[in-house]
């Protein structure tokens, strides 16, 4: 197992499908003071909208269908993202569904706290852990696969 230290100032990815962008924007606006204490990242349009509407600095990647989800996933692997807030649309198929599934899989593999809806985001961001250092535990699945049964 590998332990990855999350600093007090977290690196937070904000992602939303088109039908959930308004919901995420409302949540970010409500939590602007808290989020302003951290580094924010976002996929294309979502990150731009958040930045324009709240004046919070957001480093943006490509839009989801153009590889933004994959860029966020690669940043998780590299240790450059600590938390994921992804308001996805469970009722509409997306052209990049495999990328979405890959991002969610990477978030679980790398023990990234993830919120997929407002209630979970509220619980996550009211935790005392958001204001403290924290060590995530990443399981070495490669070692597990090499075991003989």
In a domain, 74, yes or no: yes
Rounded Cα distance between 54 and 32, Å, is 7
Q: Could you give the number of structural domains in the chain?
A: 1
pTM of the entire structure? Answer: 0.90
Q: What are the strands, taking DSSP E only, across 1-149?
A: 2-6, 11-16, 39-42, 58-60, 83-87, 114-115, 134-138
Pick the catalytic residue from 69, 82, 99, 111. 69
In a domain, 27, yes or no: yes
What CATH number is attached to the domain comprising 40? Answer: 3.40.50.1380
In a domain, 111, yes or no: yes
pLDDT digits (tens, 9 = 90+) for 13-68: 999 988 999 999 999 999 999 999 999 999 999 999 999 999 999 999 998 888 88
User: Is residue 69 annotated as part of the catalytic site, yes or no?
Assistant: yes
In a domain, 58, yes or no: yes
Structural domain containing residue 47: 9-130
């Amino acid at each position: 197992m590998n332990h990855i230290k999350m600093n007090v100032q977290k690196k937070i990815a904000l992602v939303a499908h088109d039908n959930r962008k308004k919901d995420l924007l409302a949540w970010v606006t409500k939590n602007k003071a808290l989020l302003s204490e951290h580094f924010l990242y976002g996929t294309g349009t979502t990150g731009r909208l958040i930045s324009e509407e709240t004046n919070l600095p957001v480093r943006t990647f490509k839009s989801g269908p153009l590889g933004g989800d994959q860029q966020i996933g690669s940043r998780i692997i590299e240790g450059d993202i600590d938390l994921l807030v992804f308001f996805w649309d469970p009722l509409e198929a997306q052209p990049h569904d495999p990328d979405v599934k890959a991002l969610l899989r990477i978030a679980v593999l790398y023990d990234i706290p993830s919120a997929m809806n407002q209630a979970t985001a509220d619980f996550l961001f009211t935790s005392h852990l958001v204001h403290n250092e924290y060590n995530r535990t990443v399981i070495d699945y490669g070692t597990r696969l090499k075991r003989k049964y």
